[in-house]
Amino acid sequence: MRGMTTAHTPPSPLSVVVLAAGKGTRMRSDLPKVLQPLAGKPLLGHVLDTVQQLAAERAVVVAGFGAQRVQEAFAHQPHQQTLRFALQEPQLGTGHAVQQALPDLPETGVCLVLYGDVPLAPAASLLPLVAEAQTGALALLTVELPDPTGYGRILRNADGAVQGIVEHKDASPAQRAVRECNTGILCAPVAHLRRWLGQLRNDNAQGEYYLTDVVALAVADGVPVRAATVPDADDVLGVNDRGQLAHLERVVQLRAARRLLDAGVTLADPARLDVRGTLHCGRDVFIDVGCVFEGEVHLADGARVGPYAVLRDVRVGADTVVHPFCHLDGAGIGAGAIIGPFARLRPTTALADGVHIGNFVEVKNGTLGQGAKANHLSYVGDATVGARVNIGAGTIVANYDGANKHRTVIEDDAHTGSNSVLVAPITVGAGATIGAGSTVTKNAPAGKLTVARAKAVTLEGWTRPVKKK
């Protein structure tokens, strides 16, 4: 590394400014652009996650359009003893935006500027910029783009030294032919930045105070300007419209798929997988097409997930099979279980090993013991179900009296007949059987048959009506 940084003089402190005040007009949305979700997380959330990896002493988010919503969205994040919000109102450009953060920055050290709409810039590409700035330079991150339309272009002299940045709208045809683009990300000593920002003018195509103009000011000051080019352009693509957001979504999803494949997961099609959170997989997991994983999902060794399942905050035990079209939310599922097709598990459901949940069965806030089965057309709400219980087709646990919810207990080895209604709060004793079609409103004793329905009668002498001519 260059120069002054030695073991005895620690590198000057790092502050980060994240620009997030723009409206994002081209998104055509009421939601501030930096809150638009990418892989289930706001764009700004991706940037703040990266900020966390940089061990910055201070991070300032410059908010403007929808500032309150932006601030609220990150009020309860762990990020954040170091995080502050500055208000930019009105929004007069990226240089003006950084200026609004200056009062919150320490006098010394270096400042890294990130853009809230450039979500994927990795810490590994940012740290070298910080190191350059710590030697006194202005460090820029640039990218070669096949289609640079809309981006600021890097201007170099005959020796290849950076002279400035020209915005697309201000650029001449010759300048527009330049493919080396400004990512927007730069790092400089705070003291320099303060001085340059004070000299910005807005006599340009957009009538804005461009942050990019600090480059020419640095050159005029004789401050060294260093430009590092990112190898993977996807890392620094900005989101200005829905098309770019959709493109980045695929980038993120394909990267997630690639990581899963590398970890030994079988994906029926890496292009048809959506992870909007964190997916943890054991060995020999199989995931079919069209599945969506949200929040924290754990799939243990040998788990298989059929096509078009949505799993959110779920733990799936080893060798459990989730058949197609299941919606599983906030549930824990044991090993060797069979779920679906068309099953719905709602939050705080816990299924023990070997449980079978079949088609059109909904379980809410219930526990099913080892080997219990509910294979067809049932609602099991607020119930504690023992081991080896068989919930017959069409059984409904009626947990709601119109005002309050009540709990039902179904003890080990009980069977409920088809189309029975268990009106909570009741207990069905161990080994009890409920006759088909029963509406049970009191406890059913263990080991016995309880039937609560009218007896079948046969009317002698009845004849079927005959159709009139």
Distance CA 31, CA 445 (A): 57
Give me Rg for the CA atoms of the chain.
Answer: 31
Tokens of residue 321, six digits: 């099979």
- The torsion region of residue 109 among left (phi > 0), alpha (psi -120 to 50) and beta comes to left
Q: Which does 366 bind (CB under 5 to 8 A by kind): ligand UD1, Ca ion, none?
A: none
| Pairing state between β 14-20 and 110-115 | parallel
Per the CB < 8 A criterion, the answer to whether 141 and 186 are in contact is yes
Please compute, for residue 19, the number of CA atoms within 13 A of its CA located in the half-sphere on the CB side: 26
Parallel, antiparallel or unpaired: strands 343-345 and 390-391:
unpaired
Of 91 and 125, the one with the shorter C-beta distance to ligand UD1 is 91
User: Is the Cβ of residue 240 or residue 375 nearer to Ca ion in the bound state?
Assistant: 240
Pick the binder of ligand UD1 from 167, 235, 274, 329 (CB under 6 A). 167
| CB nearer to ligand UD1: pick between 24 and 354 | 24
- Write down the least CB distance from residue 177 to ligand UD1, Å: 16
Task: Write out the two tokens for 422.
Answer: 């268990």
Cα gap 336→358, rounded to integer Å: 14
Q: Is 376 a catalytic residue?
A: yes
Site for Ca ion in 38-77 (CB under 5 A): none
With residue 40 as reference, give the H or E element that holds it.
none
Q: Which does 22 bind (CB under 5 to 8 A by kind): ligand UD1, Ca ion, none?
A: ligand UD1
User: What letters, b where the CB count within 10 A reaches 16 and e where it falls short, cover 151-188?
Assistant: bbbbbeeeeeebbbbbbbebbeeebeebebbbbbbbbb
Which residue in 280, 327, 376, 406 is the catalytic one?
A: 376
Does 20 bind ligand UD1 (CB under 6 A)? Our answer is yes
Segment near ligand UD1 (CB under 6 A); pick from 89-97, 241-249, 275-283, 346-354? 89-97
Check residue 46 for interaction with ligand UD1 (CB under 6 A): no
Q: How far is the CB of 158 from ligand UD1 (least distance, A)?
A: 23
Positions 125 through 154 that interact with ligand UD1 (CB under 6 A)? 151-152
- Cα distance between residue 20 and residue 39, in whole Å: 19
Residue in the shown chain whose Cβ atom is closest to ligand UD1: 152
User: Smallest distance from the beta carbon of 246 to Ca ion, in angstroms?
Assistant: 16
Q: In the beta sheet, which residues pair with residue 83?
A: 59
Q: How many residues bind ligand UD1 (CB under 6 A)?
A: 30
CB 397 to ligand UD1: min, Å: 51
> Which residues in the 224-253 window bind Ca ion by CB under 5 A?
238, 240
Closest to ligand UD1 by CB, 212 vs 427, is 212
Other Cβ atoms within 10 Å of 59 Cβ, number: 26
Q: Report the interface residues with ligand UD1, using CB under 6 A.
A: 19-22, 62, 64, 88, 91-94, 96-97, 115-118, 151-152, 165, 167, 181-184, 210-212, 238, 240
Q: Report the interface residues with Ca ion, using CB under 5 A.
A: 117, 238, 240
Catalytic sites, residue numbers: 376
